[in-house]
Each structure stands twice: as structure tokens, then as C-alpha cells.
Structure 1
Amino acid sequence: MTLRRIRLVLWTLVAFALVGVLALQWAGRRPEPPQPPFRPDFALQDEAGRTYGMEDFRGSFALVFFGFTNCPDVCPTTMSEVAQVMDDLGPEADKVRPLFISIDPERDRRQGLAGYLAAFHPAILGLAGDGAATQAATESFKVHFGREEDPAAPDGYSMSHSPGLFLVGPDGEWLRQFPYETPAAEILADIQERI
């Protein structure tokens, strides 16, 4: 066998091996099933006792935040950003519903959740439930929260929680999370693009 013929046989074997490897890889790939839309939900009450769920806000964008009224920094900062967004939306503000969901419902109700939120913006709706409803809401939004003993805090405890602000679309589908300290202008621009 000549050197030329040996090279031809070797290159042919390499080509067959490469085709075989590619065929095995292609056969092993299966298309991923489409992911169902992420539609968080809850069943929580306002201060007047009316129960709300995400279906009550269909047709509007919802800005959802989980927090508590004794929060020293994250909650008031975020509510200030939300208030700025609502003011800057002008006539389009009626297309967005800001929601504050209490992770400390018993104390927040006692201290006046509606009054706390009105100090930021009249459009912010405060919602709270019992322990089970609060747990279900946080699980639906994939939010962490927990009680932390703190002798220096009111009532001797504080709450840790995920600080994100969530945007839910008019169809109830989760659109995105704005990290803590996202400027109001950035939140506003994102919402205006979607309206």
C-alpha cells in the first residue's frame, strides 16, 4: 500500500469518526420543553379587610415589594423610589399599581400599614395576611424573609428579607426584578418601554 493510499484511508476513518461523534451528540440532544410562565400570586387583605390576589390587578402593571414598616433603610428607600416612579409616570400612572406586601403583618397592622405607605405615595396599596398567607405569598414570589431578634429594634426584633422590587405584567406574568437601589429613572424607563 502506498503512502498516498494510507493517508486517504486514515483521513476517511477520521471523517467517519467525526460524523459518528456529531451524530451521537445530535441524537442525544432533545429540545427542552417550553417553561410555563411564572405567575406569582397571593391572597392578602388591605387595611379595610378586602382580599386581593394578582388577578385583581390584571390589565395593569404591578410593582410588588415585600417589606415591613419598622424597616430602617431598605423599605423606605424602595418606597421613595416607587413614589418617584409613580409621580414621573404622569398620566400613565393609572397603568401601574404599586403594592407593598407586609412580611410582619401583625405589627404592621397594629402600627397602621396604610398610614405608613400614604406618607410615600397615595397609590401604594398595603397588603397583609396571616402567617400562612404571608408564607404562601413569599414562596410564590420566591422571596426570603425571617424574624431576627434585636434588642435595639422596636418590640425587640427586626425582619430580614429579600430587597427586590418585582414587576408583574398586565397578564399576571412576572417580568423582572429590580435590585435594591435601582434608580427610579431606570425603573421608569423600563416600565415606559412596556406600556
Structure 2
Amino acid sequence: MLAISKRRLLVSTSVVLLAAAALWLGAGRLGLLPGETARTTSPGATSGFSGRAIDPPLPAPDFAMIDHHRRPFTLSGLRGRVVVLFFGYTNCPDVCPTTLGQFKRVKILLGDDARDVQFLFVTVDPGYDSPERLAGYVGVVDADFLGLWASPEELQPVLSAYGVFVEKEPASESPVGYWITHTASSYVIDRQGRLRLQEPFGSEAEKVAADVRRLVQESFEGRQADAR
């Protein structure tokens, strides 16, 4: 991982997925059954994706939260759509607003394919980021984006399942008295609910859009083949 800026906002450089072993930093496991293994390829490696491909794909751990409209939400409820998932917080000074801006650009680049994609922002600061605060942060970037909230007790297993690192640090210059160091990459889940890609922070929107479009079209072509 690489710490960036004086606030040490964490950029995860790889997803470490090992069967029957704790993830790096002791964050937990990501849906692996005994005997299963997974690895990530380097960007642009034989997978053909610009992001880091998870090989083989893994079932994305399901979770239940509420969205910024205070509606019940489950990840499995998005089966059939491609999901772009990010963990952040509303007082984040640089990584989170930059990522949301990237998401907006990716959606624009996707054009009609964006109808089959859902962008999610899960707060890692549920004590401060109420659904209403998420609505004013995520919803104003794009009305189709969803901010997600869960209680600290409900959130922790999700962070562990995805290997997301979160650490709160006191900071006098912060408007709320702290910054949160957190994993800053995004996760891409395909229509079948499988974790397929990790897009590092700072990835070009054009490349992320190409990766996401490939998953949209791959799944569509697969359904056409099944119908024949």
C-alpha cells in the first residue's frame, strides 16, 4: 500500500486474496472456501483489463445496509448489473471527492451502458456520515449513485470481508477533528455477483470505463449465448 498526502490517505496497490489465510493487515477473508485461491494480475497483464483482475473471480461478499434515501439495500439485490464499489467518508479531503468525480466521468463515458452499472459509496465513518449527509455528498454528484450506511457493528464484518483498512487519526486541521486513513481502491463486481477487478486510486477514467464496459458486454453476450 502507498500512503499519499500529509493525511496518509491510503492507496491500496493490490488486493491480497489468499485461501484460508488472513488478508494483509489482518483485515479478514474475502469469501474464500477451503482450498480456493485467488490472485490479482498486474494492470494490463494477460487479463486484458487495465485494472487488476482477480483470478479466478470470487463471489463478492453480500451485505445489507440502508442507502442515502433510507431504503433497505442488499448487494445481492443488484445481481444482473455491474457494480463499482468504493469505501470512503464525507470529510475525506482528497481521495474520496476525487473518486466520486472519477465515477461521474466513467458514467458519462459509458453512455448507454451506464444503465447496467451501479456506483456505490460505503461510508467508513458511520458515526458522522448519516444517510442524510451521504445524500448531500454522493447524491449531488449523480442522482443514480448510492451512498450506503451501516452501524459500526454491521459495518465491521463488511470491511473485514473486503479487506478494507480503516484507521482514524486525530487531526487539529480537520473540521471534525480527525482524518481517516483508508483503502482507496475501488472494487468492480460483475453481473453474476463475482468480484472481478480492483481499480487503483488515480486510474484514468477512460481505462476504468473500458474495463466496466467489457464486463457489461461480456455478461450480455453470455446471456445471448445461453438463449441460443
**TM bucket, shorter chain:** 0.7 to 0.9
Aligned length: 164
> Which residue pairs with 1:4 in the alignment?
none
1:51-109 CA deviation, whole Å, 9 max, x = no partner?
21211110000000000000000001111010111111111111000000000112111
- Code of the aligned partner of 2:149: A
The answer as to whether partners of 1:43 and 1:137 remain within 8 angstroms in 2 is: no
Question: What is the CA–CA distance in structure 2 between the aligned matches of 1:85 and 1:39, rounded to whole Å?
Answer: 22
> Which residue pairs with 1:56 in the alignment?
77
> Which residue pairs with 1:82 in the alignment?
103
Give the match's secondary structure for 2:58: coil
Q: 2:212 aligns with which of 180, 191, 195?
A: 191
Question: What is the CA–CA distance in structure 1 between the aligned matches of 2:177 and 2:132, rounded to whole Å?
Answer: 15
> Which residue pairs with 2:134 in the alignment?
113
Q: 1:39 aligns with which of 40, 60, 65?
A: 60
The answer as to whether partners of 1:42 and 1:140 remain within 8 angstroms in 2 is: no
Give the match's secondary structure for 1:106: coil
- Code of the aligned partner of 2:195: W
> Which residue pairs with 1:72 in the alignment?
93
Q: 2:121 aligns with which of 89, 94, 100?
A: 100
Correspondences of 1:169-184 after superposition (within 5 Å): 169-184=190-205
Q: Which moved more, 1:60-69 or 1:121-130?
A: 121-130
Shift of 1:141: 1.2
The answer as to whether partners of 2:82 and 2:118 remain within 8 angstroms in 1 is: yes
Q: Highest Rg: 1 or 2?
A: 1
Q: Which moved more, 1:153-162 or 1:73-82?
A: 153-162
Give the match's secondary structure for 2:164: coil
> Which residue pairs with 1:167 in the alignment?
188
TM-score normalised over the length of structure 1: 0.78
Q: 1:149 aligns with which of 150, 167, 170?
A: 170
Give the match's secondary structure for 1:100: strand
Any stretches of 5+ residues in structure 1 without a counterpart? 1-31
Structure 1 or 2: more strand by fraction: 2
RMSD: 1.8
1:151-174 CA deviation, whole Å, 9 max, x = no partner?
111221111100001101111110
- Code of the aligned partner of 1:194: L
Question: What is the CA–CA distance in structure 2 between the aligned matches of 1:85 and 1:161, rounded to whole Å?
Answer: 22
